[in-house]
Amino acid sequence: MGFMDWGMKNRLSRILKPQTGRTVMLAVDHGYFLGPTSRLENLEATIRPLLPYADSLMLTRGALRTSVDAGADVPIVLRVSGGTSIVGPNLADEGITTSFEEAIRLNVAAVALSVFIGSEHEHQTLLSLADLVNEGETFGIPVLAVTAVGKELEKRDARYLALACRIAAEIGAHIVKTYYCEGFEKVVEGCPVPVVIAGGPKLESELDALQLAYDAISRGAAGVDMGRNIWQSDFPVPMIRAVREIVHNNVKPDEAHDLFVDLKEAAKK
Ligand code: 5RP
């Protein structure tokens, strides 16, 4: 981070905690193309209990203004790309939906967009990333690039993700969000900025999701930017607390799962 201005460093350290260099980001931006995703119908009710355990909150401006208390002490990673929907012709056809002026007004810690590398909209989404980085460098606001694959989930292999992450970092993204995959260490090795992982669709069990977080961290991820595997759990607070143990305290999946079970049982009482 030596090359960075103070404001940029400060915002990044609000997301990537200096004590561990890692982060548990909570992703609740799904509605921008999925509508009222299961368990995210009432955003405010889903987000509120999780806030004390989130190192940052990733969401759109509409979600932020309507569903998060302005007094909440949580760094905001504002999703500023969109313009497509799950029922529309092409998820990759995104543009920038939110100005930098608006991001500054909302006092964000970072802005985020998706890039769709290998798609017919690769060029436009990469130029959007370049524009955001140019503005981000002007105002000291980091840019998180999501290496999105739309509906083409089979693209999530190390060769593709290493290419996508590297391109995003070369254009100037300060953090890259991608998927965990076999050979994930190659993705991290080839990316000169911190890499965080999405959780993806809800896995069979909480233990599977904790294993995913552990595998990513132990192969070099700087953290998670997780959504569905936290708030689609029947016990979201125990789940995010268990994820935190893995990310910040290097706890093994079984041990984190024991904590999840204890907290779940206590929550039932
Ligand atoms: C969509 C996103 C989501 O925030 C991301 O997929 C994280 O959520 P989940 O863990 O549910 O996959 O960036 O493009």
Within 10 Å of residue 2's Cβ, how many Cβ atoms?
4
**Which are the contacts of 93, defined by CB distance < 8 A and separation ≥ 6?**
83, 84, 121, 124
* % of residues, the chain, pLDDT over 70: 99
Residue 3 binned pLDDT confidence (cut-offs 50, 70, 90): low
Contact 25 CB / ligand 1 (< 6 Å): no
Neighbours of 218 (CB within 10 A): 14
137 token code pair: 């460098």
In this prediction, residues 70-79 reach a mean pLDDT of 97
Please give the average per-residue pLDDT across 36-53, as a whole number. 97
Q: What pLDDT is stored for residue 149 in this prediction?
A: 83
Contacts of 42 (CB under 8 A, 6+ apart): none
Whether 177 is catalytic is: yes
DSSP letters for 202-219 = PPSSHHHHHHHHHHHHHT
Spatial contact of 25 and 56, defined as CB atoms under 8 Å apart: yes
Cα 269 to ligand 1 centroid, rounded to whole Å: 32
The confidence band for 19, taking pLDDT boundaries of 50, 70 and 90, is very high
Write down the pLDDT at residue 156. 82
CA distance 76 to 57: 5
Average pLDDT over all residues of the chain: 96
pLDDT > 90: percent of the chain:
94
Calculate how far, in angstroms, residue 9's C-alpha sits from the geometric centre of ligand 1. Answer: 25
Cα of 28 vs centre of ligand 1, distance in Å, is 8
In whole angstroms, how far apart are CA 64 and each of 59, 61, 203?
A: 7, 5, 27
- Ligand 1 binding pocket includes 28 (Cβ within 6 Å): no
Minimum-distance ligand 1 atom for the alpha carbon of 114: 14
Q: Assess whether pLDDT exceeds 90 at residue 269.
A: no
Name the amino acid, one letter, at 255.
E
Q: What is the pLDDT of residue 238?
A: 98
Q: What is the pLDDT of residue 24?
A: 98
Q: Is 199 in the pocket of ligand 1 (CB under 6 A)?
A: yes
Domain ranges of the chain: 6-197
Round to whole Å and give the CA distance between 163 and 191. 9
Q: Please tell me the distance from the alpha carbon of residue 94 to that of residue 150, in angstroms, as a whole number.
A: 11
Looking at ligand 1, which residue's alpha carbon is closest to its atom 5? Answer: 198
User: Taking Cα atoms as reference points, which of 193, 212, 198 lies closest to residue 257?
Assistant: 212
- pLDDT at position 7 over 90: yes
* pLDDT in the model for residue 239: 98
Specify the CATH architecture of the domain 6-197.
Answer: Alpha-Beta Barrel (3.20)
pTM, rounded to two decimals? 0.96
When mean pLDDT is compared across 69-73, 74-78, 154-158, the lowest value belongs to: 154-158
Q: Tokens at residue 68, please?
A: 């998060």
Q: Does the pLDDT at position 17 exceed 70?
A: yes
Is the CB–ligand 1 distance for residue 178 below 6 Å?
no
Nearest CA to ligand 1 atom 4: 27
d(CA 83, ligand 1 centre) in Å = 16
Q: Is 244 in the pocket of ligand 1 (CB under 6 A)?
A: no
Instruction: Please state the atom number of ligand 1 nearest to the C-alpha of residue 29.
Output: 4
Place of tokens 């069990």: 205
Q: What is the pLDDT of residues 117-148, one digit of tens each?
A: 999 999 999 999 999 999 999 999 999 999 99
What counts of helices (H) and strands (E) characterise the chain?
12, 10
CA 105 to ligand 1 center in whole angstroms: 24
User: Are residues 133 and 140 in contact, defined by beta-carbon separation less than 8 angstroms?
Assistant: no
Does residue 2 surpass a pLDDT of 60? no
Report d(CA 222, CA 232) in Å as an integer: 23
User: Looking at 9, 17, 155, 177, which residue is catalytic?
Assistant: 177
Which residues make beta-bridge pairs with 131?
Answer: none
155 pLDDT higher than 80: no
Backbone angles phi, psi at 101, to 5 degrees: -55, -45
Smallest CA-to-CA distance from 205 within 254, 265, 154, 137 is with: 254
Contact between residue 156 and residue 103 where contact means Cβ atoms under 8 Å apart: no
Q: Is the CB of 56 under 6 A from ligand 1?
A: no
